[in-house]
């Protein structure tokens, strides 16, 4: 593969490029292709996605199912998985509350970014023969799709993500508790949210997933301006959930805001680490491969 071809694929990991594509299925395919292409040329080439339709030979497996071509490439025994075999049940959980509609400087909204990440994760999971489901919430659960591993089901996940718009006020903690109760077979739960709710209540809900033996990745999604507060001159701030307005000069309070935001983010990171929950901070300018690496890294650790 030429460097030019590699660059063509890798460009689809950039949010500003993907924002110009209208079709969620196309986005998912191009992002995953760009990601996998990049794996072959990166220090992360140890991650195995080439043989997603295979699993390592285990004692008791029939020798006639060994794929000798892969043995020739890897010097390891792999057998082809059957269609009905799935490795893991994964649950993608998307916050579609009103605060997720925020965007600055012409970027995509936090919800759009979360939907694109979700679509790419779902595509990669099904390629890995994992079952994937989707839950969308605001104050309450709006959509609940239990995990399946078929390509036809994947298309329905894409359709739901395309149709999703920001809705009512945030109810992250209550919604997560409801989802935790619905999950009957433990698996991997990936939550995409700005986490703009009461942190203590959200952490209690995240611990609920862990109590039920689920693995958890929290992907906190912000707009770059929410992290920097670099608005410059006079500005009117409007609460997306209450419509309350505040006129201020951002540069006067920028330093204090940044300090409070750092405390807010550091608290989530610390609490998650203490409860064996993976935490990753993303903003809507972060290349999509960061989220996909987090999934693959977790996927390899839990087997």
Element at 155 (helix H, strand E)? helix 151-163
Alpha helices in the chain (DSSP H): 3-10, 15-18, 24-39, 68-74, 110-127, 151-163, 172-182, 199-211, 224-228, 250-274, 289-302
Say whether pLDDT at 48 is over 50: no
Total-model pTM: 0.80
* Rounded percentage of the chain residues whose pLDDT exceeds 70: 81
DSSP-derived 3-state class of residue 92: strand
Q: Which of 193, 178, 206 is nearest to 272 (CA)?
A: 206
Average pLDDT, the chain: 84
Here the tokens at position 43 are 């220090």
What average pLDDT does the segment 67-85 reach? 69
Which domains can be identified in the chain, with CATH numbers? 52-84 (no CATH), 89-302 (3.40.50.410)
Give tens-digit pLDDT for 228-266. 655 556 555 556 566 676 566 555 566 777 888 899 999
Instruction: Report pLDDT for 159.
Output: 97
DSSP assignments along 18-55, one per residue: HTT---HHHHHHHHHHHHHHHHTTSTTTTS--TTTTEE
Here the tokens at position 194 are 């700005």
Task: Give, in order, the Cα–Cα distances in Å from 196 to each of 30, 142, 177, 256, 273.
Answer: 31, 18, 16, 18, 19
Say whether pLDDT at 46 is over 90: no
Give tens-digit pLDDT for 259-290. 888 999 999 999 999 999 999 999 999 999 99
Give tens-digit pLDDT for 191-210. 999 999 899 999 999 999 99
């Amino acid at each position: 593969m030429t460097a030019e071809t590699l660059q063509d694929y890798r460009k689809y990991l950039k949010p500003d490029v993907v924002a110009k594509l209208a079709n969620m299925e196309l986005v998912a395919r191009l992002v995953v292709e760009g990601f996998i292409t990049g794996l072959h040329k990166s220090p992360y080439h140890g991650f195995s996605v080439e043989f997603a339709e295979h699993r390592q030979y285990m004692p008791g497996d029939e020798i006639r199912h060994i794929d000798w071509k892969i043995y020739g490439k890897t010097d390891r025994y792999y057998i082809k998985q059957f269609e009905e075999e799935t490795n893991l049940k994964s649950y993608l959980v998307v916050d579609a509350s009103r605060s997720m509609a925020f965007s600055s400087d012409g970027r995509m909204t936090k919800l759009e970014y979360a939907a694109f990440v979700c679509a790419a994760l779902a595509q990669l999971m099904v390629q890995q023969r994992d079952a994937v489901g989707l839950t969308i919430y605001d104050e309450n659960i709006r959509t609940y799709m239990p995990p399946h591993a078929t390509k036809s089901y994947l298309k329905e996940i894409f359709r739901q993500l395309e149709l999703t718009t920001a809705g009512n006020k945030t109810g992250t903690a209550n919604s997560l508790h409801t989802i935790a109760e619905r999950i009957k077979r433990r698996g991997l739960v990936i939550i995409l949210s700005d986490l703009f709710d009461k942190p203590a209540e959200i952490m209690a809900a995240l611990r609920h997933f862990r109590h039920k033996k689920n693995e958890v990745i929290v992907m906190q999604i912000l707009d770059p301006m929410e992290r920097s507060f670099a608005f410059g001159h006079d500005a009117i701030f409007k609460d997306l959930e209450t419509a309350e307005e505040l006129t201020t000069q951002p540069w006067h309070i920028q330093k204090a805001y940044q300090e409070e935001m750092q405390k807010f983010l550091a608290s989530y990171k610390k609490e998650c680490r203490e409860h064996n929950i993976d935490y990753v901070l993303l903003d809507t300018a972060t290349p999509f491969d960061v989220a996909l690496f987090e999934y693959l890294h977790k996927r390899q650790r839990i087997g």
